[in-house]
A = this chain, B = another copy of it.
């Protein structure tokens, strides 16, 4: 094991670094310093160096970081170098919107199945995927080796869906419903509730 215990804060910054590095690569920039990264991402350069140093020595003293190399390394750390299949439950407006994100997303990380419990939704087409009945979740998780789940159902349904996901063997959940989900300790959950975000912003406004 190379990793001691990395804090969640560190892990959450890695995708931000990754995104900006990919942007630099698109601009044909081959080398970048922690100072430049810090300037553009509004972060402390020491923090960036420290974050990266948890996982190895990726830079060169006096030079900086090779953009392409660092991209590859961060992808390895985040396990974005291998296929990661995602299930989405809740084929409403938000679910449909997110399923279109597939295109922008890293090609290794993909929504491969969409579920709903609402009779009328089932069988409808969302992008290239057909909405399946939630009952098929366990079967599809096994068949497609689905590792993560996105919850875009109403708050009242969210806990039930989370339970079903966990039972089916899903290992991580991105939850858009405004509830705190009860899941086993080893299943990470990210909450992405829009109302909560807006309400906390309200404090600073006016």
Which A residues contact B (CB, under 8 angstroms)? Answer: 8, 11-12, 14-16, 18-20, 40-42, 77-80, 84, 86, 92-94, 96-98, 100-101, 104-106, 109, 147-148, 150, 155, 171-174, 178-180, 182, 188, 190, 192, 194-206
Contact = CB atoms under 8 A, between A and B. Distances in A.
Nearest to A188: B204
A98 B194 contact: yes
Given A101-B195, A171-B205, A171-B206, A190 B200 contact: yes
A203 B16 contact: no
Contacts of A198: 86, 105, 109, 148, 150, 174
A204 B172 contact: yes
Q: How many chain copies does the complex carry? A: 2
Contact of A42 (B42, B150, B180): B180
A76 to B, nearest CB: 11
A80 B105 CA distance: 35
B172 A205 contact: yes
Given A188-B205, A192-B192, 12 more contacts: A11-B204, A19-B178, A19-B195, A41-B180, A92-B97, A93-B93, A104-B155, A109-B198, A173-B201, A188-B204, A190-B197, A190-B201
Contacts of A190: 197, 200-201
A140 to B, nearest CB: 17
Contacts of A178: 19, 104
Contact of A194 (B101, B147, B171): B101
